[in-house]
Structures are given as C-alpha cells and as structure tokens.
Chain A
Amino acid sequence: MRLENLKIAKNECLNESVFEMEFFGVTEPLEAGQFVNVGLNGFSLRRPFGVADYSRAYKSLTIIYRVQGKGTEFMSTLKAGNYAEVLTGLGNGFNYSGVKKPLLIGGGMGTAPIYYLAKKINESGIKPTVLLGFRSLKEAFYLEQFKKISNLVIATDDGSAGFKGNVLECIQTKNLAYDKYFACGPEIMLKNLAKFDGNGEISLEARMGCGFGACMGCSIKTKGGFGRVCKEGPVFKAEEVIFNE
C-alpha cells in the first residue's frame, strides 16, 4: 500500500453513466485483481475501485466507475490536470500462474478488473476466453479493447447482444471449456458460479471503511474464518467463501 498524490490524465464518459479515469504518477507496480482507494475532496471516506489497467512504463493507472451517488457524481466532474490522493496497491490479486485455459468472467462493473487480468494473461502468451455479462448492450463498455486481447463472448439479460441470459447459463449452454475461472461481478453471479464450480477465483465487493484492514468494516465469512474483503481479498478462492443465504 502507498498513499500517492496522482495526477488525473483523463476522465471520460464510456456510456450513459460509466466513466474511465486515468491517473499518472503511480510509483509501485499494481497486480491484476488489486484495488485502489480514491480520496475525494469533501467526502470523509475514500472510494474503492478495482485496477482496470496499469502500465509500468507510463506509471499510469486506469479505473472505471459508474456514477451512483454523490461521491462518484463529484468524481465525474474532475478534470484532467486535477490531483487525487489515492491509496494504491491494496488487497491481493488473482493467481493465474500455471493456468492453461483460463475463463475470465466479468459482470457489469466487475468487467473493469477483468480487463487488466485479461491483458496480463495475454501478455504471458495465453489468449484468454473472456465472458462478459451485462443487463443490456447499452451498459457494456471496453468491448473493442477486449476483442484485441481475448476471445470475447458476450451475454446480455435482454438479448441485445450475444447470448440471451446470464453468464452461468451461457457457460452451460455454450459448454465453454476452461481449467480455471476468474470472476468479478455482482454477488449473486459470484455465488452462483461458486456453487456451479468451486475451482475458481472470485473478486468481491463491499462497502469499506478504510480499505486496508484496520476497521473490519468489510469482513465476510470464509471456511478458514473471517476474511476482510480489503485485506485477505478482494480475490478469494470460490470454494472458500461462505455466502449469505
């Protein structure tokens, strides 16, 4: 973890309510699956976002966020050249070493960290299969970027693009083959995936206080005891997580 004062390089609208924000000046490498906690002037708590992209060469970090409340509304008004105090390098990333046929699954905003993971796996010499689920095509983003680095499959609830149905139905219907899956998305999606197959890694989301393990605000139950989404997570082995009924 580092507290960094980062310069906003870009803050652009990707669709109706989803924005892409790029920062410059990141001093420590970031792993796929880790998150950052962005400080906003006038707001008490930072806002956590998964790393959607990171470049060591450019010292740049990209996050993708949806305008959902006052904090993200304020974020959307920030301009290139503004600075933000960001805690970087938080949590544990995905462990994809040794995988041969990975399936990467992103649901809604959970697509963001899946992009950086897909990029890393592609750089390692394996073109991953990426399955993205959205309610509707108009909520989708980054599709062109994904096509360049992966075999992309899309599922939408309303059938406006790709498979009509959720990601699990898509995996079963299309019989998507994989040796290990990596997923980020809504809790119900992750819960169903974990029930379907425990051999995967899932990245969870939670309302956080600190984001670095101090307040216990985001603790979940796992087979091994308490797990803080911010510290032991956000990536957990699917079979380890005990979901609420």
Chain B
Amino acid sequence: MSNLSVKLFGKTLDNPIIPASGTFGFGYEFNEYYDISILGSICLKGTTLEERYGNPLPRIAECPAGMLNAIGLQNPGVDKVISTELKKLKKVYPKKVIANVGGTLVEDYVETVKRFSTASSVLAIELNISCPNVKSGGMAFGTSAKSAEELTKAVVAVSTKPIIVKLSPNVTDISEIAKAVEGAGASAVSLINTLVGLRLDLKTGKPILSMNTGGYSGKGVFPVALRMVYQTYKAVKIPIIGMGGISTAEDILEMFYAGASAVMIGTENLINPYICKEIIESLPSVMEQHGISSLQSIKGKAHL
C-alpha cells in the first residue's frame, strides 16, 4: 500500500496535493464537481486587506503549453473572506487550508496576516511577493532579497500561523531570495509563481492583455519550476512546496525527487477541473510502478 501522506508544519496531510492559489477560487465551488475533501489541503485565492476588482479585461491570453494571466488579485477583501468564504468552505472541506496574502505596502500584508491568524481553519499563510500583475507591491517585494526579508520579518512578527513565502522565478538566483526569507523566519517557501510573458494581437500588433504583460503558467513552465525547486533545496532547510506546470502523478514524483515536501497544482485545474482528483487517484499506482512506498522517503533523492 502506497503511503501518500506528508508532514508539513508538524501536521500530517493525507496527500501532498494542494490546488494553487488563484486557480481554485475559495474551493467550495469545486465541490459541485467532486468531493473536495480528498485534497491534502487547499490554497485560497489571493487576498488583500481591501476588496479589489483587479485589472480590466482581457486578463487571459493563450500560449503554447499554457496561458498568460493578468487577473490583478480580484478578491472580496480579508474580512469577507474570513466571514463568508471560509465559512462556506468549512461546510464542505473540514481540513485546514492555506490562506494567500497579497498587498501593496508592508502594512497591508501585516494587517491581513494578523486577521487571518485569528481564523481557526487556516493552517498556514502564504505570502504572495511574486505577483507580476499588480502595479505596485507584489513582485517588487519578491525580486530583491532585502525587501523580501524585511516583509517576511514584519509578517512573521505578527503571525500565529506558519508563514510560507511564494517566490518569483523572475530573478537571477531564486535560492538567494529563499535564503533571505528563511533567515527572516519563514516556515516554508513555495515556488514558482508565474513567469512574466507577453502575447501580441496579430491584427493590431498590440498586446492582447489590458496590462500588456502577464504571468505565464502551465505545462510549459514545469522544467523551469523543477530546476528552481532543485536549486532551492540545496540552499535552505525549510520545506519547499513545489509548483509550476504539474499535470501528472509522474510530475509529482519529480518534484519530490528535486526536494519538494508538498506540491501545488495550478493552471491544470483551469483546463481539467478534475485534475487534482485524477492525480490523487493515479498516484498510488504510479508510485507502485516505480517501487516507491512513501513519498516522504523520496524527498530530495536527486541530491543523494
């Protein structure tokens, strides 16, 4: 019998499969499609202190092996997320979830994290310092080790939950940023967020997206994400949540070999709403095929 369970922040997850922020809404709507209680955890839609509409349309452009998005953190604001969305989710998903926090100023992040700290169903809080689609804040925090460190410190100081820092691939050396946030007290890092990309309209010659550029994600980024997880594993001791283009159970094995302790599945949810369920179901037989009895035992195998 294959053992899918993994440990994160001292808690045991039934399996390492977590839908990534921004690709699963606040979770409960997917319960119309399948019983979401099978998921290891759920990462919530990026949340800010105040309600945000996000960017003008179009926000989506197709790419080979993936897509560009420039949503711009549309969300109802942290108070509504806690009072409404989390309550709805709790009814269909009894396990703990990961909140995802974005912002423009350090104070926004601090205040939002404070409020999520009071929510009993929140296991950990992921800091989005890597969103390429907001005018200020977002990725600006995540592309310099110094600002990433400062923000992490400020947030860790007020949080009663473990802090996961979501890293941007749009940097020269991702492991430098990982080390900086580890030093600042982060409990884990998650990577990668999207890669900044561009598509142009063939008729007009102008950008398709209203924000011009957007974040590229999907199957095409998997090798880049895997390399960055591999590289970061050598640099830090805190757990890594691997993500970027995962679409099969085999991809998950590769992520664990590279050093991931859990994984998030993003864009593939938008293409096949049943993907997390399908992967959870196929993972045991894929592990068996490769003679793997537990996922924990293969973590970091690529480095041995």
Contacts and interface: CB of A to CB of B under 8 A. Distances in A.
Contact of A43 (B60, B62, B269): B62
A67 interface: no
B23 interface: yes
Nearest to A229: B57
Contacts of A207: 57-61
Nearest to B208: A207
A213 B62 CA distance: 17
A214 B64 contact: no
Band of interface residues on A: 20 to 34
Contacts of B64: 44
Q: Say what secondary structure dominates the interface of chain A.
A: loop
B53 A209 contact: no
A1 B59 contact: no
A46 B60 contact: no
B54 interface: yes
Given A44-B218, A206-B57, A207-B57, A217 B69 contact: yes
Nearest to A39: B271
Interface string B247-263: 00000000000000000
A215 B270 contact: yes
Contacts of A45: 60, 62, 67, 270-271
Interface string B189-215: 000000000000000000000000000
Contact of B54 (A39, A208, A212, A219): A219
Given A44-B271, A215-B270, A226-B53, A209 B67 contact: yes
A207 B60 CA distance: 6
B29 interface: yes
A14 interface: no
Interface residues of B, number: 35
A217 B271 contact: no
Contact of B25 (A206, A213, A244): A213
A26 B134 CA distance: 41
Contacts of B65: 44
Contact of B66 (A44, A87, A226, A231): A44
A44 B57 contact: no
A17 to B, nearest CB: 15
A216 interface: yes
A95 to B, nearest CB: 20
B54 A214 contact: no
A210 interface: yes
A87 B33 CA distance: 11
A221 interface: yes
B29 A219 contact: no
Contact of B269 (A44, A206, A210, A219): A210
Nearest to A244: B56
B172 interface: no
A207 B270 CA distance: 13
B274 interface: yes
A71 B74 CA distance: 28
12 contacts: A3-B272, A44-B62, A44-B65, A44-B66, A45-B60, A45-B67, A45-B271, A213-B25, A214-B273, A215-B69, A215-B71, A244-B56
- Considering the complex of A and B, which 5 residue pairs feature the smallest CB-CB distances, nearest first? A210-B270, A217-B60, A207-B58, A209-B60, A216-B74
Given A45-B67, A215-B270, A219-B57, 9 more contacts: A3-B273, A39-B271, A43-B62, A44-B65, A44-B66, A44-B219, A87-B273, A207-B58, A209-B67
